[in-house]
Amino acid sequence: MIRLSKIDKNLFGTIKLPASKSISNRLLILQYAYGHSFTISNLSTADDTLLMSTMLDLVRQYQVRGDTGLLRLDTRNAGSVMRFMLPLLSVTRGHYLLTGNERMKKRPIGALVEAMRETGAEIDYLEDIGFPPLIIRGRAISASRIGIDTSVSSQFVTALLLLAPTMPDGLTIELTGSRASWPYVKMTTRLLNSLGVQVITQENSIRVFNKKALKSDIEVEPDWSSAAFWYSMVSMAENGEIFFPALKKSGIQGDQELASFFSQLGVTTTEKSQGILIRKEGRFNDNFMADFAGYPDIALPVIVSCGVAGIPGTFTGLDNLRIKESDRLEALSLALRMTGIAFREESPGTWKLSGRMVDPCRLHMDDFDDHRVAMTLAGLAIKGFTIQLEHPETVNKSFPGFWKELESAGFKCDISC
């Protein structure tokens, strides 16, 4: 349990953001597939990345030993680990059980399974159809074209993109359905380009050419999605200025769009030679509208900032938040209700805020053991609330140093067993 408070309502400091786990996990899959022919520097130390590394090490040891038995791989509640490992295991000799925790068993994976089955992959459901756990019999697969429904998760497409350059003839991925979280697919194609892989993107397909070797070393950038919580706190503060060393607008991470969202919520963003400086000094947009279909990871901090400012806002593109580490729409609705703010679906797919924030008090909030929920709610302490959360360790999933950085910025963080 952790109890968070802040004496004043100002926020100043220098915040070291973690390395991007999204970039790190993609690079780890490619590094494994290409026999560690390139090095990765500034790799994320987040739990999801450590888990990805552990899973790949287990597969490598299994291969080295020449085992033929069933290898059990538990991805816990790490969606990218589950989804990125599936195609890799399908083309890697062996017999695998790919599973996760109870929440993971409720997160759909059917579209990716069906796509791999079309190539001849041997994958069976162990429990509910369309969901983990899975039994995979890995073997060599020869395919040059795969179709995938992109409406559920961008990670399905990314999983195939990471496999594509290792296929003998490359791979054409045919896309159907709406484009969920599409900037994350663009992140993957740009990473492939940076490593020398040729990628041609068209409206309904992505063509990736075979690349026999990857030798370009690469450094992982700081994580833009982790900056969203600090943008939110600066927006809610009376006065605020935060500097993020080494953060830059490289164009690889789609979540840098948060600078545009928060420009409408009183926060300016200035790119310096050594990083990014954000400051509270702009005007609030009373007619705020945002579509988060491409940016689900930054939705919660933006919505909370609007609610605290008394801006009704109009929010769309939130449906996929129901199938994350928690049902984030439910989590946010319950938490904001405790502050006097209502967050409701006004019409199918469209959400609005209403109500006025209550006077600061002590709030015991349910973080649903979800890292992004916990870090979003922690920011409410800047308004004078004392926030109590049950699972402080959950932030390790993406931002292991979050509580330490909060303390450096003047928050009081009391962790108890």
Dist. CA 378–CA 5, nearest whole Å: 9
Q: In this structure, what token pair is assigned to residue 407?
A: 């303390």
| 359 catalytically annotated | no
**30 three-class SS:** helix
- Catalytic residue, chosen from 74, 149, 223, 297, is 297
CA atoms within 13 A on the CB side of 343: 25
Phi, psi at 121, each rounded to 5°: -65, 145
**E strands present in 15-78:** 40-41, 70-74
**What one-letter code names the amino acid at 297?**
D
Dist. CA 397–CA 390, nearest whole Å: 15
Place of tokens 């490289």: 250
Q: What is the separation, in whole angstroms, between the first and last Cα of the chain?
A: 6
Closest CA to 276 of 305, 298, 255, 301: 255
Strand partners, 2: 389, 415
Dist. CA 254–CA 154, nearest whole Å: 13
Is residue 170 within 8 Å of 143, Cβ to Cβ?
no
Dist. CA 238–CA 233, nearest whole Å: 10
Dist. CA 363–CA 4, nearest whole Å: 10
How far, CA to CA in Å, does 98 sit from each of 64, 87, 385, 413?
Answer: 19, 11, 42, 37
- Eight-state DSSP code of residue 381: G
Please, what's the b/e burial string for 5-35 (b: 16 or more CB within 10 A of its CB; e: otherwise)?
bbeeebbeeebebbbbbbbbbbbbbbbbbbe
Dist. CA 220–CA 140, nearest whole Å: 31
Annotated catalytic residues are 297
